[in-house]
Amino acid sequence: MLDRYRNVITIALAALLAAAVVAFVLERRDGPQPLEIDLADLTATPSGPIEVYITGAVVQPGVYEMQAGDRVIDVLYEAGGHTPDADLEAVNLALRLQDEDQVTVPRVGETLVSTGRTSNVAGVSSAKVNINAATAAELDTLPGIGEVYSERIVESRLSNGPYVTVDELVERGVIPRGTLDKIRDLITLGP
């Protein structure tokens, strides 16, 4: 009688074993998800208070505590607004502020003079850009440095460590020599 059910028992055990193997494989296939690192989070603009000096044709020139991400128009508002003789056409009011920026609102007919620090047509001058701490967006403000080079600078810093000399930008193959020559006086390695 046992011989009669041997084939049925063998088939049932084989089916049970096959079901167990399928369940085991499916469980392993849905294992832990791979680790993902978003470089954009590592290079995000810092938050918190920054200090900005506004001068020129403003009601109350001075140093104001602003928040990272604020714009020139925000510090102009904090300074009581512009005077009647201000040349607002010469100022990029939408430009984002950085710590230690100096915003100069010129008077009509007045020409802005560079103070040896980086400056742009918006009447904003800021300290040298720290290539060991700046975000890609901050690096992108340098002449000749666009989105591609700024991302390369940050990626090289993250993967190869901080820059010891500014010449490492060329030595690591991040930017060409001509571009470094344009920005050499505008960048720094530390605070």
At 120-158, the pLDDT tens digits run 434 554 557 888 888 888 887 787 888 889 899 999 999
Please give the average per-residue pLDDT across 87-114, as a whole number: 80
- What is the C-alpha R_g of the chain? 30
Read off φ and ψ for residue 187, nearest 5 degrees: -120, 160
Q: Is the pTM of this model over 0.95?
A: no
174 vs 137: which has the higher pLDDT: 174
Which range (11-15, 68-72, 123-127, 169-173) has the least confidence? 123-127
Distances (CA, A) of 49 to 63, 99, 139: 12, 8, 20
Structure token pair of residue 46:
């810092």
In angstroms, rounded to a whole number, what is the distance separating the alpha carbons of residues 59 and 57? Answer: 7
What local confidence, expressed as pLDDT, does residue 38 receive? 61
In angstroms, rounded to a whole number, what is the distance separating the alpha carbons of residues 43 and 175? Answer: 19
Domain boundaries, the chain: 49-127, 130-188
Mean predicted lDDT score pLDDT of the chain: 79
Sign of CA dihedral 97, 103, 109, 115: negative
Question: What's the pLDDT band for 119 if we cut at 50, 70, 90?
Answer: very low
Q: Tell me how far apart the 2 most distant CA atoms of the chain are, in Å.
A: 113
Please give the average per-residue pLDDT across 93-121, as a whole number: 69
In angstroms, rounded to a whole number, what is the distance separating the alpha carbons of residues 104 and 78? Answer: 14
How many percent of the chain have pLDDT more than 70? 77
How far does CA 18 lie from the centroid of its chain? 53
Query: Which helix H or strand E contains 187, and what residues bound it?
Result: strand 187-188
Question: What's the pLDDT band for 83 if we cut at 50, 70, 90?
Answer: very high
What local confidence, expressed as pLDDT, does residue 170 receive? 92
The amino acid at 9: I
Classify residue 68 as exposed, middle or buried by CB count within 10 Å of its CB (0-12, 13-18, 19+): middle
Instruction: Supply the DSSP symbol for 99.
Output: T
Contacts of 148 (CB under 8 A, 6+ apart): none
In angstroms, rounded to a whole number, what is the distance separating the alpha carbons of residues 165 and 171? Answer: 10
Pick the CATH number of 130-188 from 1.10.580.10, 1.10.1370.30, 3.30.56.10, 1.10.150.280: 1.10.150.280
What local confidence, expressed as pLDDT, does residue 8 receive? 78
What local confidence, expressed as pLDDT, does residue 118 receive? 38
Structure token pair of residue 114:
């560079």
Classify residue 191 as exposed, middle or buried by CB count within 10 Å of its CB (0-12, 13-18, 19+): exposed
